[in-house]
Homo-oligomer: A and B are copies of this chain.
Amino acid sequence: MTLNAVLSQIDDTLPEALDRLMALLRIPSISTDPAYKPDCARAADWLVDDLRSLGFDASSRPTPGHPMVVGHGGTGGRHLLFYGHYDVQPVDPLALWDRDPFDPAIEDTPKGRVIRARGASDDKGQLMTFLEACRAWKAIHGTLPGRLTIFLEGEEESGSPSLIPFMQENAVELHADLALICDTGLFDSKTPAIVTMLRGLVGEEITIKAASRDLHSGMYGGAAANPIRVLTRILANMHDGDGRIAVPKFYNGVTELPDAIRAQWQNLAFDHARFLGDVGLSHPAGEVDRTPLEMIWSRPTAEVNGIWGGYTGDGFKTVLPAEAHAKVSFRLVGTQDPIAIRDHFRAWVTAQLPPDCTVEFKSHGADRASVMEITDPAFEATRAALSEEWGTSAAYVGAGGSIPIAGHFKTYLGMDAMLVGFAHDDDQIHSPNEKYNVESFHKGIRSWARILDRLM
C-alpha cells in the first residue's frame, strides 16, 4: 500500500520534478571543453544542495578535473550505490539546434511530450529519476528507502580521467552491495531493459605530419607528400571489403554469442529496418555476415569520429597542409584487451607511413567490455519491478555504447553493477536537439520506486 502512496506522490508532483530537472539542464556542464569548467562545478553544487534537501550527507569532492558528487543517507537493509553523470556532450554543430541547447523546454511532439535540451537524456534526466524516486519515498515514509550512496561524476563525456584514482582513494567509502547505473535505454518504446553486456572503448587521435610547413599546392603539388592523402589511405585500409577490421590481432578475445543469448535476441524481434530507417538509412554498414543487433551489441567496431586538415573555411585555398588529423575509436567486446589493441593499431598505422611522413598518437581512453553476472537475485527482482511498471516483460540486453563505469565498479570496488535506464533510441544524445520523453522521466521515477521497494 505504501508503494502505491509513493507512486501517487510521484504522479502528483511531476510538474515540480520537471522544474527541478529544467534548472539542472540550464547549467552548460560540458566536460570536454575547458571553457565550461565553472559550469561543471556549478552543476555539482546544484546536486549537492538537492541531495542535502533529501537528507543525504553530500558534498562536492575536488579532483584534478571536474568534481565528484558523493552523498550518503538512509539506514538498514541492502546498501545500494547509485551512479549517474552530470556532465554533457558538446553542442556543435550549434546551427542544427532548433533552440538554445541550455534553455530547456517541454515540447509537444507527434510522439508525445519531450524535454528538449543538451543532457536531457544523457544523463541529467536519467539521474534525476532516481533522486525524484527518493524524494517521493521520503515524502510518504519520512525516510530514505534504505542505505544509499549517491555517486555522480562530471567527466563521463570526456573519458573520466579522475574516476579510477577517485575510486581507489575512496574505495572503502564507496563500497556497497550493488551499484545501480542509470545511463542506458529502453529496448523499445514499450519494453524496459536491463543491460548485461557493454562494449569497451579505445579512443585514439592520430596526427600525420609531412613537410615542415604548409605548402602552396601550385609550387609543391605533385612533388611533396600530402598528409591528408596519407591519412585517407591509412583510414581507408582500416576495414576490408567485408566490413571486417584489418588491424592485425584486433579480433583476439572476440567470442561468438552463446546460442541461448542468440536465441533470446532473436525473440526480441528487433526491427532492423526501423532501427536504421529512423535515421534515414536502410543498409547495415558493418560485417557482411552479421545482423545489425550483433553489430551494435556483440561485435567490435572501428570508426572515424572526426577528421580534419588543410583549409576548411569558405571558398578555396590551394594549400598542401603540414599536418592532418583524425579521431578514431574502437568498440570492444568479450575479452579484447584495449591496451593491446591500441598498440596493434599504432604499429599498423606506423607501418603504412610513406617516406617523409611521421605520426603522433594521443590516447583518449582504453576500457574493456563488461559482461554482468545476473545470478544476483537483484536482477530478477528488478526485472519484475520493471515489467510491472511498463506492462511488458523486461529484457536482458546488450548495449553498444561503452559505459566503462560498470567495469570499474567490479575492478576497483569489487561490486557488481546493474544498468537500468529509460532513454529512447531517438533521444539524439550526442547530437543536436537532444530530448528525453516526459514519459521516460515519469515512468523512470516510478520504476525506481518499485525497484527500491523490492530491493530494500
**A281 in the interface (beta carbon within 8 A):** yes
Partner of A219, one of B226, B355, B425: B425
Closest to A330 in B: B221
CB of B319 within 8 A of CB of A223, answer no
Which among A77-85, A204-212, A446-454 touches the partner chain? A204-212
Given A225-B281, A281-B210, A301-B221: A310 touches B316 (CB 8 Å cut-off) = no
Partner of A158, one of B224, B308, B316: B316
A-B residue pairs in contact (CB < 8 Å), sample of 21: A92-B311, A158-B316, A212-B279, A212-B280, A213-B280, A216-B431, A218-B399, A219-B401, A220-B400, A221-B329, A222-B285, A223-B296, A229-B235, A231-B232, A232-B233, A236-B236, A283-B355, A306-B321, A307-B309, A307-B310, A319-B430
Interchain CA distance A317-B118 in the complex, whole Å: 14
Contact bitstring A272-288, B, C-beta under 8 A = 1, else 0: 00011001111111110
CB of B32 within 8 A of CB of A313, answer yes
CB of A32 within 8 A of CB of B90, answer no
Closest 5 A/B residue pairs (Cβ): A218-B401, A212-B280, A32-B315, A236-B236, A306-B310
**A343 in the interface (beta carbon within 8 A):** no
CB of A312 within 8 A of CB of B306, answer yes
CB of A223 within 8 A of CB of B284, answer yes
Interface residues of A (CB under 8 A from B): 32-34, 89-90, 92, 96, 157-159, 199, 201, 203, 205, 210-226, 228-229, 231-233, 235-239, 275-276, 279-287, 292, 295-296, 299-301, 303-321, 324-327, 329, 331, 354-356, 364-365, 399-402, 425, 428-433
Q: Which residues of B contact A92 (CB under 8 A)?
A: 311, 313
Q: Which residues of B contact A212 (CB under 8 A)?
A: 279-280
Given A232-B235, A233-B236, A236-B236: A295 touches B327 (CB 8 Å cut-off) = no
CB of B308 within 8 A of CB of A225, answer no
CB of B90 within 8 A of CB of A318, answer no
CB of B318 within 8 A of CB of A356, answer no
CB of B354 within 8 A of CB of A213, answer no
